[in-house]
Amino acid sequence: MSQQGERNSGRHGQGDDWWGQLYDDSTDDTGPTPAPDTLDDRFASASGTVSAGPERADEQAPVAEQVPERAPVPGQVTGRAPVPEQVAGRAPVPEQRMVPPPPPPPPPPPAPARPVDPPPPARPVGAPRAPWEPPAHAPGRPQSFPPGPPPPGHRPPPPPPAAAPDLRAPDADAPAPDAGPGEDAVVAEEPEARPEPPVVPYVGDGPPTYDAEPTALPAADPDTLDDLVADTVLDGARYGTSTLRAVSVRGDSARYRGEPRRDCLLTARFGTGPGALILVAMATGARAAPGAHRAAAEACDWIGRAVGRSHARLAEDIRAAHRGDLKSGLHRLTDRSLGRLRASAAEQGLEPEEYTASLRCLLLPADPGCRTRVFFGVGGGGLFRLRDGEWQDIEPQVSEASGAPVVGYGSPKPETPDGDRLTMDLGITTPPSPYEPAPEQPRDPFRFRASVARPGDTLLLCTAGLAEPLRGEPELSGHLTRRWEGSGPPGLAAFLADTQVRVKGYADDRTAAAVWEA
């Protein structure tokens, strides 16, 4: 075939003249046709006919319009090009006019993962066709032909591009191991989680007198807004093998009367890494004292500073199990903190019993290899341990906490070597000596306990607001056992709900810190 614009005078010159006349505007068209018949359509028809072999002629039939061959008119150009079959001496192929293909449909949404159905078994040759089997010449099924030699210059079309795999979802073509042919994949069901016991608003014979939610706010002074105390404080952490939950809640009576919370809670970490030490301190101010919440806050602040300055030595003694050194050292730190509290009361012109607080602390080493838990403090409250489904009251007794007797407080009376009394008791009241100060009021003894935790234990340290109902109402301890035994540490909100379960007759502030051992 000659190039565009050239004229070939060979034996095929007459047949190649159609290429030059194809772009001649002076030649009239052959007439209207049902399909679009423009210059581009004619070029597409010619190029499609040349590139299509005998094996693809029928595949183009659905998209090509068969036009009956017309008789050529003398002096008129028909606009048809000889196809390779005519040149090679094969049977002529009817003229094809290509119809523009319809726009591609939008991609269907991804179908849910289904197992791939196995291909149907091949039907033997000559066997009757099943009713559901489509015929070999069905429009939706391409017709196969025996392979033949490709025409000269034929280039096979490129294979259709494969769809990119979806990396966001698992392989949808892989059938489930338990799914049979034609069945949906069976999703493995997770084991049913253990249902948690419901949270109850109260336990005991009847509902408490006060409302369950806060009613009145404490009175505020615009010049001392930093003196305000929040109704609830909630905190938590996890170090090593222990998980900590701590909470301090205003009591029902204080919520009703609009009084500030007398309990104070401090959670602090000193140091980093395995040598870190976690301190949980809680204090309760004196009842019916105007500055009880300030006294509790000062007690927690001073003991926190004392422990923080000595945290490295304390953590080392805990890991080395130096029980005697720990007890004497923590005793001195506690006395110094409460001594500062008494000095603050004197500066304010208050009596020591009007500006005091009970103090209870817990030391937790961050080292996962150390399971020693140290408790120390002064005043009322409770120390409990939940082990094997039973609560154990491990609060140190006064006899265990008190050391050697102090002169004037339980010491034996002085006597002569012969056993005679230095003075005779004649029933006469002895006036106090003007040269000796009056004896101080007996103070609460120092309490100390160091215990080794076991996996699965739950240690609970609390003030008197929660310790008293735990000792006085068995139903409350049973409820906490059902909530905490074997279910792991609860979340902060769940721990708050558990410690807020009310008991009639107990309306004081509640402060508690619980440690779950992994």
- Render 257-325 in DSSP notation, one character per residue: HTPPP-EEEEEEEESSGGG-EEEEEEEEEPTT-TTHHHHHHHHHHHHHHHHHHTHHHHHHHHHTT-HHH
Q: Using alpha carbons, select from 116, 119, 118, 111 the residue that is nearest to residue 185.
A: 116
Average pLDDT over every residue of 24-32? 54
Q: ∠ at Cα 131 (125, 134), nearest 5°?
A: 70
Distance CA 162, CA 124 (A): 32
SS3 147: coil
pLDDT of 199 reads: 67
Average pLDDT over every residue of 453-475? 95
pLDDT of 16 reads: 56
Between 8-12, 264-268, 313-317, 466-470, the lowest mean confidence (pLDDT) is in 8-12
Average pLDDT over every residue of 2-14? 49
pLDDT of 217 reads: 94
Structure confidence by residue, pLDDT tens digits, 269-282: 999 999 999 999 99
- Residue 56 amino acid letter: R
Q: Is the dihedral of CA 24, 27, 30, 31 positive or negative?
A: positive
Average pLDDT over every residue of 339-351? 92
pLDDT grade for 426, boundaries at 50, 70 and 90: very low
Q: 350 or 53, which is more confident?
A: 350
pTM (2 d.p.): 0.58
pLDDT above 50 for 480 = yes
Q: Using alpha carbons, select from 82, 227, 57, 74 the residue that is nearest to residue 143.
A: 57
pLDDT of 183 reads: 44
pLDDT of 122 reads: 58
pLDDT grade for 424, boundaries at 50, 70 and 90: very low
Tokens of 340: 């500062």
Structure confidence by residue, pLDDT tens digits, 302-322: 999 999 999 999 999 999 999
pLDDT of 43 reads: 77
pLDDT grade for 471, boundaries at 50, 70 and 90: very high
pLDDT above 60 for 507 = yes
pLDDT of 171 reads: 44
Average pLDDT over every residue of 441-470? 92
Average pLDDT over every residue of 342-364? 93
The pLDDT > 90 percentage for the chain reads 46
pLDDT above 80 for 381 = yes
pLDDT grade for 385, boundaries at 50, 70 and 90: very high
pLDDT of 457 reads: 96
Structure confidence by residue, pLDDT tens digits, 95-123: 555 555 666 777 666 655 555 555 555 55
Q: 127 or 335, which is more confident?
A: 335
Q: 63 or 43, which is more confident?
A: 43
Distance CA 471, CA 380 (A): 13
Q: 228 or 397, which is more confident?
A: 228
Q: 204 or 170, which is more confident?
A: 204
pLDDT above 60 for 34 = no
Q: ∠ at Cα 49 (46, 55), nearest 5°?
A: 175
pLDDT above 50 for 409 = no
CA 89 to chain centre: 77
**Alpha-carbon torsion, ordered 493, 499, 503, 507, to 10 deg:** -100
pLDDT of 271 reads: 95
Average pLDDT over every residue of 141-145? 45
Q: Using alpha carbons, select from 16, 44, 41 the residue that is nearest to residue 30.
A: 41
pLDDT above 60 for 405 = no
pLDDT of 421 reads: 41
pLDDT of 342 reads: 93
